[in-house]
Amino acid sequence: MQYMSVVLLARAKEVRDEGSIIEIVIWELSEPLPPSTHCYRYRLYYGSGGASRVRYDNERGKGDHRHIGEQEEDYVFTTLEQLIEDFRRDVENWR
């Protein structure tokens, strides 16, 4: 079995005064995680009261996608900067 090289690029967690949580975790991979074509694995989360409100992630077999409340949809990854900007916009729109 061949193992993929993984480097943690970012890990941050913020608990806001009203109790909501924002967490961002991003890894750089030695090769893409199919069906994604980029070399990043990520999980961006915003939740409150134990419920996920906004979540962006990618996983083997499923690829890049986001969750807005109960709705899940494909996400077109372009850059890490755009990913974070899109996530922040969705968090602000939720609030």
Tokens of 79: 């850059």
Q: Please tell me the predicted confidence (pLDDT) of residue 2.
A: 63
Q: Is the peptide bond before 35 cis (omega within 30 degrees of 0)?
A: yes
Give the sheet arrangement for strand 21-29, strand by strand.
6-15, 21-29, 40-48, 51-59, 63-68, 71-74
Q: Please tell me the predicted confidence (pLDDT) of residue 9.
A: 95
Q: Please tell me the predicted confidence (pLDDT) of residue 50.
A: 85
- Which amino acid, residue 37? T
Task: Tell me the C-alpha distance between 24 and 26, whole Å.
Answer: 7
Q: Give the pTM.
A: 0.88
| pLDDT 10s digits, 81-95 | 999 999 999 999 987
Q: Where are the domains of the chain?
A: 6-94
At residue 1 the predicted structure's pLDDT band, cuts being 50, 70 and 90, is very low
Q: Please tell me the predicted confidence (pLDDT) of residue 95.
A: 72
| pLDDT 10s digits, 16-74 | 888 899 999 999 999 898 899 999 999 999 998 889 999 999 988 889 999 999 999 99
Q: Please tell me the predicted confidence (pLDDT) of residue 18.
A: 86
